[in-house]
Amino acid sequence: MAHDDDPTASYAGYGPYWNPGTDWGTPATGPDGNLFPHGYDTGPSLPHDGDLEKIIGAAIHRDPTIPADSEISIHVANGAVTLTGTVPTSSAKRAAGDAAWYAPGVTDVHNDIIVKSHATS
């Protein structure tokens, strides 16, 4: 087959999971042997777990749908976030989970927050 007839020819050396002439799943590398083409910027590194706890905590604190008297604990391990504690409404619980998901580098969120309505007399 001629080069012009090969629709995959333009992907040579640039796809992370396929390199023409190899099996699927073989990482493609550029001419310098790197996974990404020379000069490719992979972007900033993602926050570490301790930084993620601070980022999520600040986002929860700023969220107007989460009352200030909510008691929320945040634990992060390898990008997986676990939220525990109590909030007065299901919308506050949902908002806390959303705040965690929106943080960069989060891989999973376990929202174990309990909705505990304030008793009225």
CATH code, domain carrying 78: 3.30.1340
**Helices 49-62 + 90-102 axis angle, to 10:** 140
Judged against a pLDDT cut of 90, whether residue 94 lies above it is answered with yes
55 and 14 inside one domain: no
Residue with the larger pLDDT of the pair 13 and 31? 31
**What is the C-alpha to C-alpha distance for residues 118 and 8, in angstroms, rounded to an integer?**
62
pTM of the model: 0.63
The pLDDT assigned to 15 comes to 43
Q: How confident is the model at residue 3 (pLDDT cuts 50, 70, 90)?
A: very low
Judged against a pLDDT cut of 80, whether residue 61 lies above it is answered with yes
75 and 34 inside one domain: no
Question: Which structural domain, as residue segments, surrounds residue 4?
Answer: 1-43
70 and 14 inside one domain: no
1 and 26 inside one domain: yes
The pLDDT assigned to 45 comes to 77
3-state SS assignment for residue 71? strand
User: E strands along the chain, which residues?
Assistant: 71-77, 80-87, 108-111, 114-115
Is residue 120 in some structural domain? no
26 and 66 inside one domain: no
Residue with the larger pLDDT of the pair 15 and 85? 85
Q: Pairing state of beta strands 114-115 and 80-87?
A: parallel
The pLDDT assigned to 75 comes to 97
